[in-house]
Every structure is written in C-alpha cells, then in structure tokens.
Amino acid sequence: MAGLYIHIPFCHSKCSYCDFYSGLRASAAEGYVDALLTELSLRRDEIAGDFSTIYIGGGTPSVLPTGEISRIAEAIGRLTDKKSVEEFTVEVNPEDVTEELLTVYRRIGINRISMGVQSFDDTMLKAINRRHSAQQALHAIGLLKGQGWNYSVDLMFGLPGQTMDAWRHDVDLLMQIKPPHISAYLLSYEPGTRLYAMLMAGKVVEAPEQLAADMQKYITGAAAANGYLHYEISNYAQPGCHSRHNSAYWTMTPYLGLGASAHSYDGSVRRINPPNIKSYLSSLNSGATIAEIEEENIDELFNDYIITSLRTSAGLHIGTLRDRFPENFVTELLADAAPFIAAGQLTLTDRLSIPEPHWLKSDAIMRDLIRV
C-alpha cells in the first residue's frame, strides 16, 4: 500500500488564513503540469508497488482546466495499476463545481471530492476572503449529491466574530445534508498570513479557548447523533467513508509527493520539494528533480509516529512501536504515559490512545510523551 500526493499551487485568490504554498499564476498551469509529469517519471521508483490512494491538493486543483487534470490522471494510469487505486481525491472550491467538471472527473477515474466550504454564513466567508457564497456552496453540494459522489465538506470554527449561534447554524445545516465525510478545523493564526497580521494589529481577536472548545463539542455531539464516526481530531465519517489517503499519513504509510512544496516519505526517508515554483520548473525542465532529503534521527521519527497516531481514535499500536523502535523507547513512553492513564486522559490496551473527550488537550498530552 502506498499513496501519491500531487500539489497544485494555484488559486483564484488567497484566503486570509491560508499558509499553504500557493500563488495566483494559474496561467502557468500547462508548464507546471509538464513539470509534474516529468517529476512523476523520474521519481516513481522511490515508492515500491502500486498506488492505493491518490490525492490532488493545493492550492485549488479545480482552477486547472479539466484537460490538465486529465493529463495528470492519464500519466498516473501508465505508472500504476488502476485497479489498485481505492481512492482518488481532488480538492475543489464551490465556485468551480459544475456538472461538466464533475462528469470529466468521474470519466478519468476520480472517485472522491474534498470541498472547502468553511462556512454557510456570507459574513464569515467575507471575513476570511473566500470567493464563494453560501448559496454557491449549497449548489455545489447539490450537484455532488445528485451525481452520487463520495465527498467531504470542510468547515472552520473560531472565525473572526463567529458566535456560537452562527456555528450551530452551520453544523445543523450540514447535518441536514449529511455528506459522507466532514472535516472541521479550528482557525489557526499562522505567521505570514493576512489574518495573522490583522491579529497582531488588533483588527481581529482570537476566539476564546472555551468558545473553541464548546464549538468542537457541539459538532462532535451532532456528528455522533447523526451516525458519524469521529476517527481523527478534525475528521468525521459515515461508516466506510473515512479518508483512506489521509489515514495513511497518520499510520506513516509510504507516499510520493510531487509538485512545489510537496513532501514524501518512503518508509524511512522524508523528502521535500522547496516551495518555489520558479525553481521547480527550472529544475524539472532540465530533467533533474528538486527534492531534498529531510534528515531525521530516530528520536524525531519516533515523535512523528506518536504525534500522528495519537490524533486518531485508533491510537498508537504498541506492537508496531516495538517493531520499529528500540525497546527502551517503548518503556520510557509507557512510563511517561502512566500519570495520564491514571487520570483517564490516556487509555492503554494493546494500543495507547486519547479518549475523545480529551482530544482538545492532545497537544499538551503529546508534549509530555515525545522524546526531547
């Protein structure tokens, strides 16, 4: 089992909270896709076996002409057994979703759509510089439902000026729709973003911690009441509809990442492409890859495994830990975990996991478990 991630660094406009690498030069799409296909051919052998999941993210992949997405899908199909691909996801924004776009996506083998809605409140959408309206989001969801897609809807909470009542409205509306998958993220003010600059200038204020906790508690309760499984801190799925690609990240499954700023992991070595389109194009046009090895020692790999696994309902499998790391790492981890187990903030069977009511405290718990 292995995954393929492809980064499309183009957007119609930059959302004010976004710190992912992206730009507005979609006119460069054809040359960028040429470079992607070259990189795919040069680096395919880094990952053994066929791809079981494919994820095209960004940026906003739906800004690409469908012909360019088709070229990417055809190239992948030549280098992996299409029958092995369980899940092929593309990220979209609501304003790009049309019947024609979805028809092309299905024809070329895409079987899952991840759509960033963030809010059904036009005031909130303007506050974070989203281009679409609430009505456009509902129209796009209607098309996805009408064509029978497996799809995911992203929401954000803790937005500037967002009240608990506004959040309840968003969640209640989504529960009426019942998409197969929901992702709900607490707004993070990342340095370098427009919202962070506004926060530093006192133009917006961060949501109080208790309000953020109440918002997450509300969606978690609503999701459970509507049959969703809360399988990762920010992700909820109807049975059988979890994101296979993202779940593989959390279990440290190997994946190949292509495109400017993309990360890769072959099971032992991590690689990263620098976040620079110009350098990326220049390198690939000359037939050379730009990927750099990220040096990680065994302590850092151990910490990665703890942090990714403990974000999930499945938790950390102790047997897998013993297979991958020295026994003293496991012994020390369990000793550090003992006070949290006694307090009910961790549970231990053949797995170490954080009970759902304590997921909001997961960062604090994990800080005491990682190796320093």
> Is residue 14 very low, low, confident or very high in pLDDT (cuts 50, 70, 90)?
low
- The SS3 of residue 220 is helix
Most confident of 131-135, 143-147, 300-304: 143-147
- From residue 57, give the alpha-carbon distance in Å to each of 141, 172, 307: 19, 27, 22
pLDDT at 130: 83
Section 311-327 average pLDDT: 92
> Is residue 187 very low, low, confident or very high in pLDDT (cuts 50, 70, 90)?
confident
Answer whether 3-250 and 298-367 agree in fold: no
pLDDT at 195: 76
Q: Domain segments of the chain: what residues?
A: 3-250, 298-367
The backbone torsions φ and ψ at residue 204, rounded to the nearest 5 degrees and listed phi first, read: -135, 160
pLDDT at 27: 62
Fold that domain 3-250 belongs to in CATH: TIM Barrel (3.20.20)
Paired with 53 in beta bridges are 3, 87
- Least confident span in 13-22, 96-105, 173-182, 252-261: 13-22
Distance (Å, whole) CA 69 – CA 297: 37
- % of the chain residues with pLDDT over 70: 96
> Is residue 13 very low, low, confident or very high in pLDDT (cuts 50, 70, 90)?
low
Q: Are 92 and 284 in contact (CB under 8 A)?
A: no
320: exposed, middle or buried (C-beta count within 10 Å: 0-12, 13-18, 19+)? middle
pLDDT at 249: 83
Which CATH number applies to 298-367? Answer: 1.10.10
- % of the chain residues with pLDDT over 90: 74
> Is residue 349 very low, low, confident or very high in pLDDT (cuts 50, 70, 90)?
very high
> Is residue 189 very low, low, confident or very high in pLDDT (cuts 50, 70, 90)?
confident
pLDDT at 188: 85
Q: Is 15 left (phi over 0), alpha (psi -120 to 50) or beta?
A: beta
Section 11-16 average pLDDT: 70
Is the pLDDT reported for residue 327 higher than 80? yes
Task: Give 191 or 339, the one with higher predicted confidence.
Answer: 339
Is the pLDDT reported for residue 325 higher than 70? yes
Is the pLDDT reported for residue 25 higher than 80? no
- If one counts every other C-beta atom within 10 angstroms of the C-beta of residue 126, the result is 13
Two structure tokens written together for 138: 């509902």
Q: pLDDT for 94-129, tens place per residue?
A: 999 999 999 999 999 999 999 999 999 999 898 888
Distance (Å, whole) CA 228 – CA 247: 16
Is the pLDDT reported for residue 70 higher than 60? yes
